[in-house]
């Protein structure tokens, strides 16, 4: 790298870095072969855009096109006596004047010897020359406007005199009558356009002398950076009160027992359950409740059976049938129809930030996903699905983890719907049983959110 930068200059660093990034990215996604990497490079077109720094103590050589948007105190245009175009001679010509059937595009022609007198060919070449002239004029404007203080326009003659429309002649003709003829040190004539400086130069040291003076480093440059204050506390509602996997089921309550054994022991014994099956029943039920409401009702049973066969193949047919019957019983219950109507949304991601109640600590940053959000005429309802078997008898017996979760979601949704009361409920799929959480119970857990998030 050092040798390449020494040879090509510091500006080559951007291209080198990009090449290394492409190589590393290719190595992570494909078989790492040189042939495959070169093939990937050939297939794509990449452009590296750099923010060209100003005021660097160096001479920068670039094309006029590459200098767009840049400025320098002094600019040299060393070659202005040529009108060479990037277009190759005898390239394809577009014959827009050629006769053709209506609706057909203009044909292309590869000119050969003896076709120069054809009117359509002459018209096409005139159009090409005009386009080249307009492009050169645009580039000339860019070249003339890059200099802040001085612009040097130079050129050289070969065996033939420069063409009349070269940049040197265009600039000289455009400034006719305003140029002073001056003899250079070698006796050659130089034309100079000069404007008097309106403001006297500032007295003081030059940039070169100022750069040689040593400046002591400030104290903070050698000290370790202080730890930044905590601005927000991240909060994931589903992890506020974890259900430990290794604890005995009797100690953790019904919710943990369901996570340890998500199906009836009569169907699948605890010894047969693996970690992969631990959450499978709940995940399948959640997915069916998310997607089936978007399917015509007559197709619910077939869609549920096909989904469970594909994603729950490791479960027995009896278990899959039980999951389907349980889900269809929920969706077909008239008392629960509003929960899955057009004013409801499934798997709603939520992100919110709210300050500490007494402004004494960092704000709370909430991220999570609500199983279902329902907008009714009088309120907004947060609905959470639980597959515990059997469900608790009353809201006060609900696991603490679920109450923290609903309190956090209610706090976030209340910021989105400030004009509507926000309620929360759990839909126990076993039954099914719809249980609305009392507001005062959620208030209690909401007041403990900052303490629990910090812990």
User: pLDDT-based confidence at 308, cuts 50/70/90?
Assistant: very high
Q: Of all residues in the chain, what percent carry a pLDDT higher than 90?
A: 26
What is the three-class DSSP state of 108? strand
Which pLDDT score, from 0 to 100, does residue 380 have? Answer: 94
For 91-130, write each residue's pLDDT tens digit: 778 887 777 778 788 888 777 777 777 777 788 888 888 8
Structure-token pair, residue 391: 């469900």
Q: Name residues whose C-beta falls within 8 Å of residue 77's C-beta, 6 or more positions apart in sequence.
A: 143, 151, 152, 153, 154, 167
22-29: list long-range contacts, CB under 8 Å, 24+ apart.
Answer: 22/46
Assess whether pLDDT exceeds 50 at residue 266.
no
**Residue (of 402, 413, 412, 411) closest to 437 by Cα position:** 402
For 142-164, write each residue's pLDDT tens digit: 999 999 888 999 988 888 888 88
For 16-43, write each residue's pLDDT tens digit: 999 999 999 888 888 888 988 998 888 8
User: For all residues of the chain together, what is the average pLDDT?
Assistant: 80
**Residue (of 369, 386, 379) closest to 434 by Cα position:** 386
User: Which range (3-12, 84-93, 105-114, 398-407) has the least confidence?
Assistant: 84-93
User: pLDDT-based confidence at 3, cuts 50/70/90?
Assistant: very high
Assess whether pLDDT exceeds 70 at residue 50.
no
What is the three-class DSSP state of 332? coil
Contact criterion met (CB below 8 Å) for 379 and 422: yes
Average pLDDT over residues 205-212: 57
180-183 and 189-192 as β-strands: parallel, antiparallel, unpaired? Answer: antiparallel
108-109 and 147-153 as β-strands: parallel, antiparallel, unpaired? Answer: unpaired
Average pLDDT over residues 194-211: 69
């Amino acid at each position: 790298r050092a040798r390449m930068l020494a040879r090509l200059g510091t500006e080559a660093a951007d291209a080198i870095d990009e090449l290394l990034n492409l190589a590393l990215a290719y190595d992570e996604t494909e078989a790492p072969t040189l042939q495959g990497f070169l093939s990937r490079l050939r297939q794509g077109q990449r452009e590296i855009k750099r923010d060209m720094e100003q005021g660097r103590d160096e001479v920068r050589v670039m094309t006029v096109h590459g200098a767009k948007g840049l400025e320098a105190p002094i600019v040299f245009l060393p070659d202005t006596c040529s009108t060479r175009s990037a277009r190759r001679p005898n390239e394809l010509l577009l014959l827009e004047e050629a006769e053709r059937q209506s609706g057909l595009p203009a044909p292309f022609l590869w000119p050969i010897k003896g076709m120069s007198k054809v009117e359509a060919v002459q018209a096409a070449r005139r159009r090409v020359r005009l386009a080249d002239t307009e492009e050169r004029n645009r580039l000339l404007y860019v070249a003339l406007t890059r200099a802040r203080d001085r612009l040097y326009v130079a050129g050289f003659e070969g065996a033939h005199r420069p063409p009349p429309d070269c940049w040197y002649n265009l600039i000289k003709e455009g400034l006719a009558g305003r140029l002073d003829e001056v003899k250079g040190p070698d006796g050659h004539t130089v034309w100079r356009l000069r404007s008097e400086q309106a403001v006297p130069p500032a007295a003081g040291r030059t940039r070169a002398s100022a750069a040689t003076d040593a400046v002591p480093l400030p104290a903070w440059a050698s000290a370790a950076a202080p730890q930044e204050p905590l601005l927000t506390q991240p909060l994931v509602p589903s992890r506020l009160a974890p259900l430990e996997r290794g604890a005995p089921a009797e100690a953790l309550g019904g919710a943990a027992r369901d996570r340890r054994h998500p199906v009836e022991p009569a169907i699948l014994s605890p010894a047969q359950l693996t970690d992969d099956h631990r959450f499978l029943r709940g995940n399948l039920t959640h997915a069916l409740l998310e997607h089936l409401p978007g399917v015509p009702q007559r197709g619910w049973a077939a869609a549920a059976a096909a989904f469970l066969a594909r994603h729950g193949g490791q479960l027995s047919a009896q278990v899959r049938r039980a999951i389907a019957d349980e889900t269809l019983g929920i969706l077909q219950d008239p008392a629960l129809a509003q929960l899955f109507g057009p004013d409801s949304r499934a798997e709603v991601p939520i992100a919110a930030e709210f300050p500490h109640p007494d402004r004494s600590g960092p704000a709370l940053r909430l991220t999570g996903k609500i199983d279902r959000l329902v907008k009714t005429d009088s309120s907004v309802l947060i609905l959470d699905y639980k597959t515990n078997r059997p469900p608790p008898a009353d809201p006060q017996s609900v696991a603490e983890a679920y109450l923290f979760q609903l309190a956090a979601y209610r706090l976030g949704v209340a910021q989105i719907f400030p004009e509507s009361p926000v309620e929360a409920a759990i839909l126990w799929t076993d039954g099914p049983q719809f249980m609305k959480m009392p507001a005062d119970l959620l208030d209690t857990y909401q007041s403990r959110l900052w303490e629990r998030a910090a812990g």
